[in-house]
C-alpha cells in the first residue's frame, strides 16, 4: 500500500484531518464566520447565557464569546505553526549535525540536549517570559526555543541509520560534499519523522500558549485567545459556565485533532504496518 491508501483507511486519522481542516478554515475566514466584532464591548449584555443572538453567550464586558473564540483560533494556529517551525529548524539542524558527524560533535550536542531536558519546559518558559514583555511573538519564539530537543533526537537517530547506506556512500564516491550529502541525500529520507514531530508539536504549542494565556502571561487582552477566555471563565465560574466550557472544548478538540493526524501520518509512513 502507498501512503494515501493507508491514510484513507485510518478513520481516526481522517477525523483528525477534518478537525485540522476546520480549524484552518475558521482561522483564515474568521472575519466571515464571526457574527460580531470580537472587541466590541456592550455593557448592557454582560454575561448573557447562550441564546440565538449569542450562541456561546457573552463575557464580563458583553463581548460575544463565539466571535472571540473564532478569532482566537487564528492566534492558536499562528502560535502552533511559528513555534513549531522554530523548534523544527533548530532540532533538525542539530540532529543532522550530531547524527552525520558523530564522535565528539555528537557527544557535545546530545549532552546539551540532556541538560535542556533536565529543566521542566513549562517552568523554563515562565522563567524566560519573566524577563521579557509577554507579547504574542515573544511567546511563539520562546515556545519554539524550548521545544526542539525531541526533534533533535529523532533526526539524529535517522541520520545515524542513513549515513552508511549505499546511496550515501555513492554520493561520497562521486565527490559530494558534507552539506550536499546532509541536505540533498539524507535529509529528504528523514522527512517522515520530522513531519510527524511537527504535527504533534503544533498541538503541544497550542496547549502551552493556552496555559500561558490562562495564567495572564501569554496573549494579552483585548486580543482574543482561548486561554484568556478561560481566565474570564475562572473569575465567573459560578455564574457563567459557558466561559469555561466552550474554550476548554475548543482546546481539547484541537489538540486531539492534531494528535490523531500525527499518529495517522506516522502509521501510514511506517513500512512495518504496510501489507
pLDDT of residue 270: 65
The reported pTM is 0.87
- Compute the distance between CA of residue 12 and CA of residue 219 in angstroms, rounded to an integer: 31
Percent of the chain with pLDDT over 90: 32
For 50, phi then psi, to 5°, come to: -55, 135
pLDDT of residue 45: 87
Q: How far is CA 76 from CA 91, 101, 105, 222, in A?
A: 22, 37, 36, 15
- Specify the higher pLDDT residue, 273 or 244: 244
Q: What is the pLDDT of residues 219-252, one digit of tens each?
A: 888 888 888 888 888 888 888 889 889 999 999 9
What are 58's strand-pairing partners? 64
Residues 151, 238: contact at Cβ < 8 Å? no
Q: What is the pLDDT of residues 52-110, one digit of tens each?
A: 989 998 988 889 999 999 999 988 888 889 999 999 999 999 999 999 998 899 999 99
Percent of the chain with pLDDT over 70: 97
HSE value, Cβ hemisphere, 13 Å, CA-based, for 131: 5
Residues 38, 31: contact at Cβ < 8 Å? no
pLDDT of residue 1: 54
Q: How far is CA 152 from CA 11, 99, 183, 207, 271, in A?
A: 30, 9, 15, 21, 22
pLDDT of residue 275: 45
| Mean pLDDT across 187-215 | 88
In the chain, the domains with their CATH numbers are 59-273 (1.10.3720.10)
Read off the pLDDT band of 257 (50, 70, 90).
Answer: very high
- Compute the distance between CA of residue 228 and CA of residue 220 in angstroms, rounded to an integer: 8
Residue linked to cell 496547549: 207
| Mean pLDDT across 206-223 | 84
pLDDT of residue 20: 92
Q: What is the pLDDT of residues 129-138, one digit of tens each?
A: 777 777 788 8
| Mean pLDDT across 16-22 | 92
Q: What is the pLDDT of residues 147-180, one digit of tens each?
A: 899 999 999 999 998 888 888 889 888 888 889 9
- Compute the distance between CA of residue 203 and CA of residue 192 in angstroms, rounded to an integer: 18
Instruction: Output the CA angle 150-142-98, nearest 5 degrees.
Output: 35
Amino acid at each position: 500500500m502507498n501512503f494515501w491508501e493507508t491514510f484513507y483507511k485510518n478513520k481516526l486519522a481522517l477525523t483528525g484531518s477534518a478537525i485540522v481542516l476546520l480549524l484552518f478554515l475558521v482561522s483564515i475566514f474568521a472575519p466571515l464566520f464571526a457574527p460580531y466584532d470580537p472587541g466590541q464591548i456592550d455593557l448592557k449584555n454582560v454575561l448573557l447565557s447562550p441564546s440565538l443572538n449569542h450562541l456561546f453567550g457573552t463575557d464580563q464586558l458583553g463581548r460575544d464569546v463565539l466571535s472571540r473564540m473564532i478569532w482566537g483560533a487564528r492566534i492558536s494556529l499562528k502560535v502552533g505553526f511559528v513555534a513549531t517551525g522554530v523548534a523544527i529548524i533548530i532540532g533538525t539542524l542539530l540532529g543532522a549535525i550530531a547524527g552525520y558527524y558523530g564522535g565528539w560533535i555528537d557527544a557535545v550536542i546530545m549532552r546539551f540536549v540532556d541538560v535542556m531536558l533536565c529543566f521542566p519546559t513549562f517552568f523554563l518558559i515562565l522563567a524566560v517570559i519573566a524577563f521579557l514583555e509577554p507579547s504574542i511573538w515573544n511567546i511563539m519564539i520562546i515556545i519554539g526555543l524550548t521545544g526542539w530537543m525531541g526533534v533533535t533526537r529523532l533526526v539524529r537517530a535517522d541520520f545515524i541509520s542513513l549515513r552508511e547506506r549505499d546511496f550515501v556512500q555513492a554520493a561520497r564516491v562521486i565527490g559530494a560534499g558534507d552539506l550536499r550529502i546532509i541536505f540533498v541525500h539524507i535529509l529528504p529520507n528523514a522527512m517522515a519523522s520530522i513531519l510527524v514531530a511537527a504535527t504533534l508539536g503544533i498541538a503541544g504549542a497550542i496547549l502551552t500558549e493556552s496555559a500561558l494565556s490562562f495564567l495572564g502571561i501569554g496573549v494579552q487582552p483585548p486580543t482574543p485567545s482561548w486561554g484568556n477566555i478561560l481566565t474570564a471563565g475562572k473569575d465567573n465560574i459560578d455564574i457563567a459556565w459557558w466561559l469555561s466550557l466552550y474554550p476548554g472544548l475548543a482546546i481539547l478538540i484541537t489538540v486531539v485533532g492534531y494528535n490523531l493526524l500525527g499518529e495517522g501520518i506516522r502509521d501510514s509512513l511506517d513500512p512495518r504496518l504496510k501489507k
